[in-house]
Amino acid sequence: MTMIALCIGLELPNKVSLAFKDKEEFYLKSNTHENILYKFFLKDGCSFDIYQCDEILKTKGFREFVKD
């Protein structure tokens, strides 16, 4: 989850994000609702910042990236 937050916070392109995930052996292979959201956040064209992503995660009942 930290790797995803960093990729979003740094606004990395999807290809770069995927490369980091592969290097860290962090995979989003399962299609859980949470993983689908993470994949969406990492896609090119997703213009949400980390706080907007947190709002979406919160409304879906998932753990947020930024801790208060």
pLDDT tens digits, residue range 22-57? 666 666 677 888 888 888 888 865 788 889 999 999
Q: Which residue has the higher pLDDT, 68 or 50?
A: 50
**Contact (CB, 8 A) for 33 and 58:** no
pLDDT, residue 59, reads: 95
**DSSP secondary structure string, 9-53?**
HTT--HHHHHHHHHHTT----S--HHHHHHHHHHSTT----HHHH
**Contact (CB, 8 A) for 19 and 39:** no
CA–CA separation, 53 vs 23, rounded Å? 23
